[in-house]
Structure 1
Amino acid sequence: MSPSPRAEEAKAATRRRILDAAVDVFSRLGYHQAAVDEIVRESGTSKGAIYFHFPSKESIFFAVVEEFAGLLERRIDQAIGERRGAVHRVTAAVEVALETLSRHRKLAKIFLVDAVGLGPPFAQRVLAVHERFTGLVQRYLDQAVAEGDLEPQDTALAATVWFGALNELLLRWVLDEKAGPEVLQAQIPALTTLLLRSVGR
């Protein structure tokens, strides 16, 4: 007998509470210092509930990273769908990524700071997210070249450079606890101008 819709909703709500609590705990304590018991307290659930949804602390962390990547992709896909022309779409991706991260500082800190240096399994997950974003940028740069909006060039390298610039800007912002979202948002126009110049626009 399959679970009732109400039971499924309750299960999803519990999982959501666990992940929301994990974001707070990981961003406050870091991965190594964060304990499952702390996530239990923060989420108002039980250790049994946590291990029902996630077999380990590592799996909770991976789920948080995937949530982060999924959130970015959904926002970027929506923004791209509202723009015409490959150049406008790729700049929309950059703008929306920064806007989204400026409003989710805790997730940005987990991804940019806490997930670094945690060993091969974590590095592979982070690299996969990097590749998803650089791949998206490269696709639209390729399209812009095909449409004649950009000169032929090494779009894979250009996408990597774009990602590196975004990563550095975000990292500096995350580490400066006095800098609010408006500080990052104010840098978006200048950054997109510089990135477009780097590909000949």
Structure 2
Amino acid sequence: MPKIEETESKDLTRRKILEVARRIFALHGFEGASVDAIVKASGLSKGALYWHFPGKLELFREIMGEEARRILGHFEIPLEMKGEFDPVRFLVEKGGTLIDEFSNNKERRLLWVDLTVVAQRGDPQSKNLAGEMIDRVLDAVLPELERTFQGSTAGEAGLSPRERLICLTHAFGGLVVNLGLRLRAEEAKRYWEAMVRMLLEEGCRNEKS
């Protein structure tokens, strides 16, 4: 087999493993999923899976890493927006889009819930991934938010711009966990907008006063 075709074949095999594993992790959780189940559902050999991934945990981390990169893409601020950045509008719109995505894709929602469970059970890399998500959103949005709040005080809540963003990331996680249980997407978006406005508009008012 020519080298290019061999590389393409390996890439297709790897992608198939990830797609099947993603579905099984979502259905059964990390603890309930098994390498044997992934191998059987993919129609590949166990050797093929281990060629690409050392084990189940590494496979789970790769899947969640892809999810993290996709979500972080939502929070990249285009260059043309910088200088005229409206943090309230930006976060309301981006958060609303993500809420719709999580609501319409139960598989994606279950994966994020399970990441929290795995991290809580002590896997250090899952903890790092969950923490990195928050840090990278802060890195993307915080500089523009601080420019918007320049000269403002901590406000009645006594929170800095960074602390306000951290509160919002945790609030967003709570909304996602409850989607499909006691919370519909439209309700979640309303609550998200209310929280963004409560936490950020105070800072904007302080800056203008």
Aligned length: 189
Query: Cα offset for 1:190?
Result: 4.2
Matched, 1:92 2:98: no
Contact 1:102 1:184 in 2 (8 A): yes
Larger mean Cα displacement after TM superposition, 104-113 or 45-54:
104-113
Query: Cα offset for 1:104?
Result: 3.0
What is the SS of the residue equivalent to 1:187? helix
Query: Cα offset for 1:152?
Result: 4.5
Greater relative contact order structure (CA < 8 Å, 6+ sep): 2
Equivalent-residue separation in structure 2 for 1:38 and 1:185 (angstroms): 36
Equivalent-residue separation in structure 2 for 1:91 and 1:66 (angstroms): 24
Tell me which residue corresponds to 2:3: 3
Query: Cα offset for 1:197?
Result: 2.3
What RMSD over aligned residues (CA atoms) do the two structures have, in Å?
2.6
Tell me which residue corresponds to 1:121: 125
The C-alpha deviation readout for 1:18-49, integer Å capped at 9, x for no partner, is: 11111111111111121101111222222111
Contact 1:27 1:107 in 2 (8 A): yes
Tell me which residue corresponds to 2:67: 68
Contact 2:75 2:141 in 1 (8 A): no
Counterpart mapping for 1:159-178 below 5 A: 159-173=165-179, 176=181
Counting aligned pairs with the same residue, the percent is 22
What is the SS of the residue equivalent to 1:122? helix
Q: Which amino acid aligns with 2:3?
A: P
Equivalent-residue separation in structure 2 for 1:93 and 1:25 (angstroms): 28
Tell me which residue corresponds to 1:50: 49
Contact 1:19 1:60 in 2 (8 A): yes
Query: Cα offset for 1:135?
Result: 3.3
Matched, 1:106 2:107: yes
Query: Cα offset for 1:185?
Result: 4.3
CA 1:118–1:43: 2 relative to 1, 3 Å: farther
Equivalent-residue separation in structure 1 for 2:146 and 2:71 (angstroms): 21
Query: Cα offset for 1:8?
Result: 2.5
User: Mind listing any 5+ residue stretches in structure 1 that lack a counterpart?
Assistant: none
Q: Which amino acid aligns with 1:98?
A: I
Contact 2:30 2:114 in 1 (8 A): no
The C-alpha deviation readout for 1:62-111, integer Å capped at 9, x for no partner, is: 0011011011122443xx43855232333333233323323332222222
Contact 1:138 1:155 in 2 (8 A): yes
User: Mind listing any 5+ residue stretches in structure 2 that lack a counterpart?
Assistant: 155-159, 205-209
Contact 2:168 2:195 in 1 (8 A): no
CA 1:143–1:106: 2 relative to 1, 3 Å: farther
Equivalent-residue separation in structure 2 for 1:34 and 1:190 (angstroms): 34
Equivalent-residue separation in structure 2 for 1:30 and 1:100 (angstroms): 20
TM-score for both structures, normalised by structure 1 = 0.80
Query: Cα offset for 1:157?
Result: 0.5
CA 1:158–1:19: 2 relative to 1, 3 Å: same
Counterpart mapping for 1:126-165 below 5 A: 126-146=130-150, 151-153=152-154, 154-165=160-171
